[in-house]
Structure 1
């Protein structure tokens, strides 16, 4: 049996390696125009079969015209990458942020990835970049060249102007609806990926920098790891392991809070601001990894025990995650029994089955799925229902929820920005609509009135091999706004500057802390006046 299992893993590894080699070998092949046109038709057909509310932000006539116009421009053979640049703006016209066309780029095997990591930190990874007013800045320098100050503008990289590449790629993807803060927030952070899409992964890059009107050109090479330092870390780690209690606590925290090893930070954190613990601050980077049920249960138990009067939840740059998690979190924030979501629209009973259940996975995994397919299909037949409007709906998180026993009763502040997307917008829509929280920051990157996400399979185009991620469910909170295609607007708009970013100043949080002080002062004055009467 053991030999059979090992043989299976060996065959899987061989198939993966062969697939990667085949993919890379044909990246620069010219694909005939008829095959390109066939992939255009295939793309539109799959969108119509799988994507609910496809014509939410664009009419059918307008989208038909875009796809027909695209086919008319395909008059000669081209590579899959050049085809990606033609197809993605048309798909982006649907204006759904979860609908993504992935560029066909060179893939690395596990061995190649390990070898690359061993060679050290790449040039781009030695900096944190951000976009402000159409300019790309270094906001953190982690390179060996300490002369590069935070706040230095990046004029060009290997002759490429950042804003030119960012502007081009802004046509290749979309936020939800007509929102602009999503792209503004992510463009600077994505620049290194965009550059690598065009030029591949480089071991050295020539940067043209500008600081205080002074221009200079610096070549940044891949930074080899400090082996001496690594050795010291290993020794320190072994010493730390001797303290078993501490080590156990750390492992438990990583499991519950979720831990990002690359960034060396926790996905969820709770801390108390003042000595009397009257202000609790909860930072949630995403609704993905970690044991969220335990985290929220223990956190709100502490908040209740400490009798905190104010809760600040930081959802800035939270790109979303599990619907089950945000529904659980909302049960600690709502002030009465609630219904968290409307019924989710789907194209048909079979769209979830074909699109999500059978899409992706190895041959063996698909075979296993086939065995259980009658059970799954029967389940979908029972749970997907056609409404009076003729549309199909899948019910999830639609039954009344009771608030948790440790539900927070005090003042809630929510921090948001253009990086707040997907699930973080769904819970924000509930909090905003129920008037349960006060919002500070900038308009979210996701829409108030819902998004098309849920199950999101990747569909592979048959001729070019390009993959498209398609959301299968229109998910929305019960609360709606008349301003269509826009995000959750803050009650107090505060947008950080490049100076704030460099100095690690947090104007949004500072405003909240000042507001708390003012409220405390006002309450004290009211109490004094009452006592004097």
Structure 2
């Protein structure tokens, strides 16, 4: 048995190495014209067969023209990355943030990844960047070079201007609809990914930085922190019942609140910001990590116990996550019995089978899926229905939900910005209908009237090997707006500035606290 495990491990290792090598060799290959055009047709056909609201923002005639025109521009063999730059703007023209093309990029094996980690922190990871007024800034210097001032503008990285790269790659993906806040909110974080796609992983980078009127040219290398000493062997210590209890408490908090080891913070937090605990603030960084039900149950019990009359829900930079989590949270905030979503439109039962069920997985997994396919298809027969117009719908979260037995009935403020996307926009759309709720910040990156998401298979194009992600379900909140193609607008619009970020100032929260004082 041991020999079998060793054989399987060796087989998997060499398979992974071979796959990475094959991918990286393909990046420089020139793809023939006929194969490129075939991939264009393949992409459009997949979108038509799987995407339920393909022409929501862009008409069929316009999208037909874009795909046809794209083929006419392919006059010579090109590399996968060059093809990505041609095809992705056309996919982005659908204006659905969950549907996009992945760029062709270098891959590394597990062995190479371990070697990089052993060599230390990369020259990008030693800084936090943010984007203000079309300029990239260092907002947190974690590097070994403390001469670099936080607030320094990044003029170039290895001679490349950040704005030029950001503006180029902004053409390759879309928010939901017509809003621009998503790109503004995420450009600073995305820049390093764009640079790496173009140039690969680097052990050193030369930055041109500007601080006030001073220009600084500096090279930052991959750095290993030698100050972190190897842990000394722990001396045997008698573990008490109190130690075990503390350990269990910490483990449970990490599980329930969703501990994020990379950033060393929790996905969900509840705090009280007034001495009398009258104001509770709930920060939710995403809806996709941690055991959410006990968190919300215990949080709203604590809010009731402390007699808090105001709740501040912070959904800024929350990119979304699980539908069942936002429904659970909404059950504590709704004014009465509610329907969270309208029926979700799908192209067909077969689109769910093809896109969500059969797509992806190893050969063995696909065999198992084929065995269970009749059961899955029978389930879809019961849950996918056709209405009088001929459209097909998948029913999820469409039944009336009762308000939780321990609801919050006080004043609610919701903080939003361009990074509030997907699930955080869906719950915001429904909260917008309540007179108890005030929105503060910026327009969300996700659309008010819904998004095409749910099941989102990643499909490989046969010749270029690029991958496209496609949403299969039109998920629309029960409450809507007549404004087409935009997110949830705040009742009080406030934007964080560079100065706010550097000083740790929170203008949205400050406005809310002042508003509470004013309206007492």
TM class by smaller structure: over 0.9
Structure 1 residue 455 corresponds to structure 2 residue 484: no
Partner of 2:81: 81
Partner of 2:368: 368
Partner of 1:409: 409
Partner of 1:530: none
Structure 1 residue 430 corresponds to structure 2 residue 430: yes
Partner of 1:346: 346
Q: 1:297-352 CA distances to partner (integer Å, 9 max, x unpaired)?
A: 11111111111100001000000000000000000000110000000000111101
Structure 1 residue 378 corresponds to structure 2 residue 367: no
- Distance between the aligned counterparts of 2:67 and 2:115, measured in 1? 42
Matched length: 519
Partner of 2:27: 27
Gaps of 5+ in 1: 521-533
C-alpha deviation, 1:423, in angstroms: 0.1
Partner of 2:399: 399
SS in 2 for 1:294: helix
Structure 1 residue 119 corresponds to structure 2 residue 90: no
Q: 1:75-97 CA distances to partner (integer Å, 9 max, x unpaired)?
A: 10011110000000000000000
With structure 1 as the length reference, what TM-score do the two structures score?
0.95
Partner of 2:336: 336
- Distance between the aligned counterparts of 2:114 and 2:272, measured in 1? 41
Partner of 1:526: none
- Distance between the aligned counterparts of 1:239 and 1:199, measured in 2? 53
SS in 1 for 2:171: coil
Which aligned pairs between 1:169-248 and structure 2 lie closer than 5 A?
169-226=169-226, 228-231=227-230, 243-248=243-248
Partner of 1:258: 258
Gaps of 5+ in 2: none
C-alpha deviation, 1:231, in angstroms: 2.5
> Is the 1:258–1:268 contact (alpha carbons within 8 Å) kept by the matching residues of 2?
yes
> Is the 2:410–2:436 contact (alpha carbons within 8 Å) kept by the matching residues of 1?
no
C-alpha deviation, 1:411, in angstroms: 0.4
Partner of 1:444: 444
Structure 1 residue 466 corresponds to structure 2 residue 463: no
C-alpha deviation, 1:63, in angstroms: 0.3
SS in 1 for 2:131: strand
- Distance between the aligned counterparts of 1:321 and 1:235, measured in 2? 40
Which aligned pairs between 1:120-199 and structure 2 lie closer than 5 A?
120-199=120-199
> Is the 2:170–2:183 contact (alpha carbons within 8 Å) kept by the matching residues of 1?
yes
With structure 2 as the length reference, what TM-score do the two structures score?
0.97
> Is the 1:431–1:437 contact (alpha carbons within 8 Å) kept by the matching residues of 2?
yes
SS in 2 for 1:124: coil
SS in 2 for 1:114: helix
- Distance between the aligned counterparts of 2:232 and 2:169, measured in 1? 40
Runs of 4+ in structure 1 displaced over 6 angstroms? 233-236, 238-242
Structure 1 residue 509 corresponds to structure 2 residue 520: no
Moved more, 246-255 or 179-188: 246-255
> Is the 1:334–1:436 contact (alpha carbons within 8 Å) kept by the matching residues of 2?
no
SS in 1 for 2:94: coil
C-alpha deviation, 1:480, in angstroms: 1.1
Q: 1:450-471 CA distances to partner (integer Å, 9 max, x unpaired)?
A: 0000000101000010000000
- Distance between the aligned counterparts of 2:328 and 2:360, measured in 1? 29
C-alpha deviation, 1:122, in angstroms: 0.5
> Is the 1:240–1:247 contact (alpha carbons within 8 Å) kept by the matching residues of 2?
no
SS in 1 for 2:432: helix
- Distance between the aligned counterparts of 2:6 and 2:171, measured in 1? 46
Moved more, 37-46 or 185-194: 185-194
C-alpha deviation, 1:233, in angstroms: 9.1
Partner of 1:42: 42
C-alpha deviation, 1:283, in angstroms: 0.3
C-alpha deviation, 1:2, in angstroms: 6.2
Partner of 1:479: 479
C-alpha deviation, 1:3, in angstroms: 5.4
> Is the 2:335–2:434 contact (alpha carbons within 8 Å) kept by the matching residues of 1?
no
C-alpha deviation, 1:15, in angstroms: 2.5
1:248–1:230 Cα change, 3 Å? farther
C-alpha deviation, 1:16, in angstroms: 2.5
Q: 1:395-418 CA distances to partner (integer Å, 9 max, x unpaired)?
A: 000000001111100000000000
1:50–1:230 Cα change, 3 Å? farther
- Distance between the aligned counterparts of 1:433 and 1:40, measured in 2? 42
